[in-house]
Amino acid sequence: MCGIAGLVLSPGAALPDPATLAALGRALAHRGPDGSGHAVVGRIALVQTRLAIIDLEGGDQPLFAGPAALVCNGEIYNYRELRAGLADAQFATFSDCEPPLHLWLRNGPDFAEMLRGMYAIAIHERVARTVTLSRDPFGIKPLYTAQVPGGLAFASEPAALLAAGLVERRLRPAAREELLQMQFTTGADTIFEGVQRVLPGETLTCAEGRVLERRRIAALPDGGPEEIGEDEALERLDRALTESVDLHQRSDVPYGMFLSGGIDSACVLALMARLNSQPVLAYTAGFAAPGAADERIAAGELARAVGARHETVEVTEAMVWQHLPEIVACMDDPAADYAIIPSWFLARRARNDVKVVLSGEGGDEIFAGYGRYRSAMRPWWLGGRVMRGRGSFDRLDVLRSPAAGWRDGIAAAEARAATQGRSRLAVAQATDIADWLAHDLLLKLDRCLMAHGVEGRTPLLDTGVAAAAFRLPDALKVRDGRGKWLLRKWLERHLPAARPFAPKQGFTVPIGAWIANQGARLGPLVAAQPGVAEIADPGRVTALFRACGGRHEGFAAWTLLFYALWHRAHILGLQPAGDVFETLAAGIPVPRLATSGGRRLRHAVS
């Protein structure tokens, strides 16, 4: 895993500023602590920081072939098969990222159609003076662009563009409304004015400081439910899962996995145990809080059933208050998902042993596990409900003005997902995969792991697995009030110790209870933050934190706490000043003028 960035400047613009390129590299160093490289040709520059996973000695980037150079953040899992099919290519390394470069030389922007992996790629062609940017179909690896004075900039994280002074720290209010009400933001436009996501599956051709062409690869197969029986579906699923996990284990460094007590990670564990001769190394987080769901016991039973080595991390309230400012600071593209807390601590523990971890992310979306899907299957007159029809702050009377238009992005995603032939269930899944998955769950996994130089892999989010599972009949996804029916049947055969049809306790972080413990202290601090004071009445914020024992109130309080810390870090541009209480209590300096690239940028304070 790595960080990439670059500039595609227009004719007549100044040449790339070495100080700007150095700032981009420094801002992405946590993503690639093992090395760095850059290439500058005229008004085009590529920057890369490397986390060495495959071809440790020879895989430094940029990679060069003919008139082209490549930088990549990701893993191309089918790189061996691609190399075998490129018999005429002259390979200089054994890197998994070199085959895409030769594919681009042969196929141009269509090169990504043959890739199987997670990736954000930039390829510079020196003769045509073009840069091709490409992102994997599920959006596992991030990539952002921004129109800047003189042309186009791109980077793995918006924070790098901000740190280099290429864009201003200016917030987009519509995205803030989405974040507060849904915990994530949708679509191409980020919460930062002028910064856009390269969407999952997109390939952009850029030249002369702008995007010339866009094309896109779909993550999911087209069409409605197929006709297939349960036995045939199980056999096909076993082949797809086995192949995917086998590919996702390709690595020249040690790897492990994140194990919860749930269905998805249990499936990954079963397959890793089948495919490895050595014991699987599994990590599980638990919480030291009365009444909190603690998955360590169930995960430990699974680990013993397959002979895995099991490492646990206990997350305490004190640990959370100590580290929450830096946890939130790593979420530059914000997702107010409290699962960032265990993810960050797990990554911190895992980095002592491994550089790569596999996880079960995406199983609920691909196999239809969420309860909201079962509701979406029913028409409204039978109790069906629109997904995300209610926001986190509805009926709480905390915000200064009612959130407006916060659901527009999801409504647009629902309309795009409703292609001909898809069932209500498949539309709900596709909607989540387009936005919730890419802009919350995968974003969380990427940032929390890369903050510690650890690569996260998601074998359930694979085009082969999607082809085997997404178009299953609804009855093989949901039956008897349970989602992920076929995956449960598969697990019942291959790891019965997981008890896939037993009632499961949902995974929750006891952040509401912890906030309630400190509500009287936290409320005034959160209410006084500039970002929160702009959108919410301070007295109502304080009252919310004093009485946040209910689930709805607790989640709203968590969202405001997250937003207060995020705004401080990424709009005010301030570093954590100690634990959460010290950070929130630290004074807010007068906004200053910063100079970069010949421009004076005002750090906007909302």
CA distance linking residue 26 with residue 55, whole number of Å: 24
Other beta carbons within 10 angstroms of residue 549's beta carbon come to 12
Q: In what helix (H) or strand (E) does residue 216 lie, and over which residues does it extend?
A: strand 210-216
Among 197, 195, 194, which Cα is nearest to 214's? 197
Name residue, tokens 């037993």: 502
* Sheet order of strands, 455-457 included: 309-315, 281-287, 255-258, 356-358, 455-457
CA 103 to chain centre: 26
DSSP label at residue 435: I
CA atoms within 13 A on the CB side of 499: 9
- Bridge partners of 49, per DSSP, are 3, 36
Token pair listed for 34: 């093992």
Tokens standing for residue 56 = 């440790």
Coil vs helix vs strand at 64 = strand
DSSP string, 128-146: TTEEEEEE-TT--S--EEE
The closest alpha carbon to 459, from 117, 142, 222, belongs to 117
CB 73 within 8 A of CB 111: no
CB 406, CB 179: distance < 8 Å? no
Rounded Cα–Cα distance for residues 185 and 172 (Å):
11
Residue type at 153? A
Cα 308 from chain centroid (whole Å): 27
Q: Which residues contact 319 (CB under 8 A, 6 or more apart)?
A: 345
Q: Is 316 left (phi over 0), alpha (psi -120 to 50) or beta?
A: beta
Question: Is 267 designated active site?
Answer: no
Pairing type for strands 68-76 and 255-258 reads unpaired
Partners of 455 in beta bridges:
356
CB 584 within 8 A of CB 533: no
As a whole number of angstroms, the distance between CA 410 and CA 390 comes to 12
- Which candidate in 2, 206, 330, 448 is catalytic? 2
- Residues known to be catalytic: 2
